[in-house]
């Protein structure tokens, strides 16, 4: 059913994946698929937000990072690493109202909490040097002064981040604001965060972990449930898609190619809605879509497929079952949110991403990460243009770049303007082998040391990270 040609076409339609990676791997085993568990056996868990303690001036949470035994696959228990015992919890925050989190590390490994997409001071950014040791704790302050967007919290510790995230330490963080509230987009129970990821389970339900065997992770989880079904009303839903996988690309398609509306990305709403039939969701990225189930009769079932599965793997991600009618006062306005003008760039930088097959290291500008080295020194409020080039032409490995602290806008890809679905604020950009992109960004408010890195977590662990010191 799936051919390379189809994938190519789908990629072209999405306007980003201009070439299909010959392999997303280096040295990965092609992986013998386990007998795929039958899909759609369990309902989607729609997360209700964690309840903060409402204090004067901020919302306070205590998050304990700890192991927990939970049911992911029906009939088995799986030991995960969790926030407060929950897989994929949800925090909802409000622009202008800070969130303060006390993180208590009850794991036996270090943990460094990072709000991905967050505009936060250096001491709260999860710099690997600030990792919380087992038994330790730390306070994180999130000012929430940025525009509404879908963010996520994950580990950034130096050596255990990929495994910590794989074992469950990923929380969705939805930031709302007045601007979005005034829009007639679907709200409340019709606004649903969906954390997408993959995993590999042993026969006893245990999570199998091998940094390099990401192609062997054939079980797709949505909000922690394997290929779930979701009973929806025949009306519009806003779906916030977050890819918390270590390395997996989701190339999403609804049904046989049903149309949906792409409304947002990493940094919040797009300037205008984009009708789409496929969507690429790379690790670390967020995309928001509106699906109008009102087009379908009660009884209709629509499968969300990943049309870029690994070999021997089922494409189904989840299924939407239209089970009831409901009034629908929501709509998608013709304009959403303009991108801020970042001014004229005064600094240009080059970032060349590559792989050293001899050492197994992934490199930025030919260097692996060194905590004692500052790679670049941007100045506060000075606009920069970064050219990101993926030089991995030998193996065809895709790479991404995610600068902390501030979002960017994409100026061009290979000299061409970005597709409409990439015209909003972004904080993670994937560049295919042999290609390049330019982004414009400006760091504001906070000085100090921050990271930038590839969000393919195996690459990050193998060195693909740099350090910037932002000064005045
Ligand atoms: Cu990479």
pLDDT tens digits along 154-211: 999 988 999 999 999 999 999 999 999 999 999 999 999 999 999 999 988 999 999 9
How many percent of the chain have pLDDT more than 70?
A: 92
Distance 234 CA to ligand 1 centre (A): 40
Of the pLDDT bands very low, low, confident and very high (cuts 50, 70, 90), residue 2 is very low
Q: What's the whole-number average pLDDT of the chain?
A: 92
Distance 198 CA to ligand 1 centre (A): 18
Distance 400 CA to ligand 1 centre (A): 6
Q: Above 80 in pLDDT, residue 287?
A: yes
Of the pLDDT bands very low, low, confident and very high (cuts 50, 70, 90), residue 38 is confident
Distance 156 CA to ligand 1 centre (A): 16
* CATH superfamily label, 53-181: Cupredoxins -  blue copper proteins (2.60.40.420)
Distance 461 CA to ligand 1 centre (A): 10
Distance 433 CA to ligand 1 centre (A): 10
Distance 399 CA to ligand 1 centre (A): 4
Of the pLDDT bands very low, low, confident and very high (cuts 50, 70, 90), residue 216 is very high
CATH topology of domain 347-470: Immunoglobulin-like (2.60.40)
| Sequence-ordered list of residues with C-beta below 8 angstroms from that of 121, at least 6 positions apart, any chain | 141, 143, 445, 446, 448
Distance 463 CA to ligand 1 centre (A): 9
Model pLDDT, residue 9:
31
Model pLDDT, residue 158:
83
Distance 391 CA to ligand 1 centre (A): 11
Place of tokens 């490995």: 397
Closest CA to 285 of 7, 31, 8, 17: 17
pLDDT tens digits along 404-430: 999 999 999 999 999 999 999 999 999
Where are the extended beta strands (E) located within 307-346? 316-325
Closest CA to 468 of 398, 391, 382: 382
Q: Above 60 in pLDDT, residue 107?
A: yes
Distance 457 CA to ligand 1 centre (A): 8
- Measured CA distances, 10 to 107, 220, 307, 368, 384 (Å): 42, 20, 8, 34, 33
Model pLDDT, residue 10:
32
Distance 181 CA to ligand 1 centre (A): 36
CA 356 to chain centre: 26
Model pLDDT, residue 36:
44
Distance 77 CA to ligand 1 centre (A): 33
Distance 23 CA to ligand 1 centre (A): 13
Distance 398 CA to ligand 1 centre (A): 6
Model pLDDT, residue 349:
98
Distance 459 CA to ligand 1 centre (A): 5
Distance 91 CA to ligand 1 centre (A): 28
Q: Above 90 in pLDDT, residue 8?
A: no
> What average pLDDT does range 131-142 have in this prediction?
96
Least confident of 10-19, 128-137, 321-330: 10-19
pLDDT tens digits along 221-270: 999 999 999 999 999 999 999 999 999 999 999 999 999 999 999 999 99
Model pLDDT, residue 347:
98
Distance 369 CA to ligand 1 centre (A): 13
CATH topology of domain 23-40+183-325: Immunoglobulin-like (2.60.40)
Distance 411 CA to ligand 1 centre (A): 21
Distance 118 CA to ligand 1 centre (A): 21
Distance 27 CA to ligand 1 centre (A): 14
Place of tokens 């209700």: 48
Model pLDDT, residue 30:
34
Domains 23-40+183-325 and 53-181 share a fold: yes
Distance 430 CA to ligand 1 centre (A): 9
Say how many C-beta atoms besides its own lie within 10 A of residue 134's C-beta: 12
Distance 462 CA to ligand 1 centre (A): 9
> What average pLDDT does range 337-341 have in this prediction?
96
Of the pLDDT bands very low, low, confident and very high (cuts 50, 70, 90), residue 129 is confident
Distance 50 CA to ligand 1 centre (A): 33
> What average pLDDT does range 350-364 have in this prediction?
96
Of the pLDDT bands very low, low, confident and very high (cuts 50, 70, 90), residue 34 is very low
Distance 62 CA to ligand 1 centre (A): 33
pLDDT tens digits along 289-309: 999 999 999 999 999 999 999
> What are the structure tokens assigned to 447, written together?
């000085």
Domain boundaries, the chain: 23-40+183-325, 53-181, 347-470
């Amino acid at each position: 059913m799936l051919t390379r040609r189809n994938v190519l076409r789908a990629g072209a339609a999405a306007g980003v994946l201009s070439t299909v990676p010959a392999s997303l791997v280096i040295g990965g085993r092609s992986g013998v698929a386990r007998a795929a568990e039958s899909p759609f056996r369990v309902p989607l868990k729609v997360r209700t937000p964690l309840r903060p303690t409402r204090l004067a001036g901020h919302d306070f949470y205590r998050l304990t990072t700890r192991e927990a035994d939970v049911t992911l696959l029906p009939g088995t228990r799986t030991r995960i690493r969790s926030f407060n015992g929950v897989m994929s919890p949800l925090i909802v925050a409000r622009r202008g109202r800070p969130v303060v989190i006390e993180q208590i590390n009850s794991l036996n490994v270090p943990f460094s909490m990072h709000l991905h997409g967050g505009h936060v001071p250096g001491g709260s950014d999860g710099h690997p040097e600030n990792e919380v040791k087992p038994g330790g704790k730390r306070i994180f302050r999130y000012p929430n002064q940025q525009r509404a967007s879908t963010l996520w919290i994950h580990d950034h510790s130096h050596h255990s981040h990929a495994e910590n995230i794989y074992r469950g330490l990923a929380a969705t963080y939805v930031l709302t604001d007045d601007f979005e509230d005034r829009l007639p987009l679907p709200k409340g129970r019709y606004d649903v965060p969906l954390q997408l990821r993959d995993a590999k389970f042993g026969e006893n339900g245990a999570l199998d972990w091998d940094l390099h065997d990401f192609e062997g992770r054939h079980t797709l989880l949505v909000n922690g449930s394997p290929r779930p079904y979701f009973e929806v009303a025949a009306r519009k839903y806003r779906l916030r898609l977050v890819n918390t996988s270590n390395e997996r690309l989701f190339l999403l398609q609804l049904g046989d190619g049903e149309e949906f509306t792409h409304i947002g990305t990493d940094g919040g709403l797009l300037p205008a809605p984009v009708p789409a039939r496929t969507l690429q969701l790379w690790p670390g990225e967020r995309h928001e879509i509106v699906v109008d189930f009102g087009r379908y009769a009660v009884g209709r079932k629509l499968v969300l497929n990943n049309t870029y599965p690994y070999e021997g793997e089922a494409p189904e991600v989840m299924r939407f079952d239209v089970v009831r009618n409901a009034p629908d006062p929501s709509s998608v306005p013709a304009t959403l949110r303009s991108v801020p003008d970042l001014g004229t760039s005064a600094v240009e930088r080059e970032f060349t991403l590559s792989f050293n097959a001899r050492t197994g290291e992934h490199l930025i500008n030919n260097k692996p990460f060194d905590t004692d080295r500052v790679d670049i020194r941007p100045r506060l409020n000075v606009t920069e243009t970064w050219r990101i080039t993926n030089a991995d032409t030998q193996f065809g490995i895709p790479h991404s770049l995610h600068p902390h602290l501030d979002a960017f806008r994409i100026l061009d890809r290979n000299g061409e303007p970005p597709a409409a679905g990439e015209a909003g604020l972004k904080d993670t950009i994937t560049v295919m082998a042999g290609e390049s992109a330019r982004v414009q960004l400006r760091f504001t408010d906070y000085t100090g040391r921050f990271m930038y890195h590839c969000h393919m977590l195996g690459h990050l662990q193998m060195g693909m990270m740099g350090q910037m010191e932002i000064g005045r």
